[in-house]
Amino acid sequence: MKYITIKDIAKKLNTSVSTVSRAFNDKSDISAKTKELVLKTAKEMGYRQNRMAKNLVQKRTYNIGIVVPEFVNSFFPEVIMGAQEVLFKKGYQVLITQSNECYTTELKNVQSLENSMVDGLLISLSSETDNIDYYQDLVNSGFPIIFFNRTYKEIKASKVLFNDYKWAMFATEHLIRQGYKNIYHLQGIKSLTLSKERRRGFVDAHKKHKLTYDKSQVITSGFHMEDGEKIAAQLIENNTIPDAIFAANDQLAMGAMSVFKKHGFKVPKDIAFVGFSESKMGSMVEPPLSSVKQPTFEIGKQAAKLLLDQIEAGTKHTPQTVKLDGELHIRESSLKK
């Protein structure tokens, strides 16, 4: 397939490439007549601009890359939509890339985008990622990049985070106030900062209300529904039945809840559940699941804004951290009547 270039157009019109180029770039120094003519013949000839060449000379792509670990849950898709809203408005294109919770893929994605494909990066790390050297180097080299949601405390860069500690504490306190006393926490993957923060909120709520708390009440696993199911099955087998469960996400909560229900436990009479990062599914199950709602859309918007600021500021920007708040949506799964 043969590409039409501005050279071809210039030749056909007996003009120069600069004139043609000017026509496409809304420059002032070109007569309306020639401009129109160029645009018309370009269309006729089936011309399509070569972005590679353009980006090469301009050293800008007007592309922004987003790297997320998954999008089976609606969390990341919603964040992306938020980011797209502000980026589109500023004339940026958005290239999304998915690491499938795999560090190697994530790194490949980042490298591929970073190598002059995009002007900046929005990234949420995979659950597998435990080496942040590469990212820190990238940041230090001056590449515009914002970390959101899943990141590490140690990384010195701009971040958009949710106040996990505060809302985990609120969620736990809600259970305590409802009279639950033997509350377990499914914390998901241990190493992530957000898991640590949610766990800290859980523990501190116990301290604040002078409730005894034992380490065995916090259970580590993956983040999927199946993990929740397994944990519930194990608890039942061991006959250690909590009277409430606070999970680090809705998937875990729903997985566990379904197994307990299957074994004849009544929710929330026998055992209550609270999830995190409210999912649509959570409000559809029986009984509807209480959960902490994160401002997904807003996270995306804030991250995008921070990124654009950083691109604008060049090297002289200073890392910033935005911490957002949410809401605790209380539903039947944790409401003692």
273 closest CA partner among 250, 293, 302: 250
> Rule CB under 7 A: is residue 6 a binding residue for DNA?
yes
Cβ closest to a second copy, residue 34 vs residue 105? 105
Q: Which does 239 bind (CB under 5 to 8 A by kind): a second copy, DNA, none?
A: none
Contacts of 237 (CB under 8 A, 6+ apart): none
| Measured CA distances, 161 to 123, 141, 294 (Å) | 12, 23, 10
Nearest approach in angstroms of CB 49 to DNA is 4
Helix (H, G, I), strand (E, B) or coil at 325: coil
Cβ closest to DNA, residue 48 vs residue 209? 48
> Rule CB under 7 A: is residue 163 a binding residue for DNA?
no
d(CA 124, CA 84): 16
Nearest approach in angstroms of CB 323 to a second copy is 26
Give me the residue label for tokens 């590679």: 52
Give me the residue label for tokens 């709520």: 205
Chain-centre distance for alpha carbon 134: 19
Nearest approach in angstroms of CB 84 to a second copy is 7
Task: Please report, as ranges, the residues that interact with a second copy according to CB under 8 A.
Answer: 1, 3, 46, 48-53, 55-56, 59, 61, 63, 70-72, 74, 77-78, 80-81, 84, 88, 93-98, 100, 105, 108-109, 112, 114-117, 137, 141-143, 225, 254, 258, 280-281, 284-286, 314-315
Question: Which region, judged by CB under 7 A, interacts with DNA, from 7-15, 124-132, 244-252, 294-302?
Answer: 7-15
Q: Using CB under 7 A, which of 30, 311, 322, 324 touches DNA?
A: 30
Q: Check: CB of residue 246 under 8 Å from CB of residue 178.
A: no
Give me the residue label for tokens 């003519």: 37
Q: Which does 234 bind (CB under 5 to 8 A by kind): a second copy, DNA, none?
A: none
> Phi first, then psi: what are they for 14, rounded to 5°?
55, 45
CB-count exposure of residue 291 (10 Å: 0-12, 13-18, 19+):
buried
Q: Which does 72 bind (CB under 5 to 8 A by kind): DNA, a second copy, none?
A: a second copy
**Which amino acid is located at 98 in the chain?**
Q
Cβ closest to DNA, residue 21 vs residue 105? 21
Contacts with DNA, residue ranges (CB under 7 A):
3, 5-7, 14-19, 21-22, 24-25, 28-31, 33-34, 47, 49-50, 53-54, 56-59
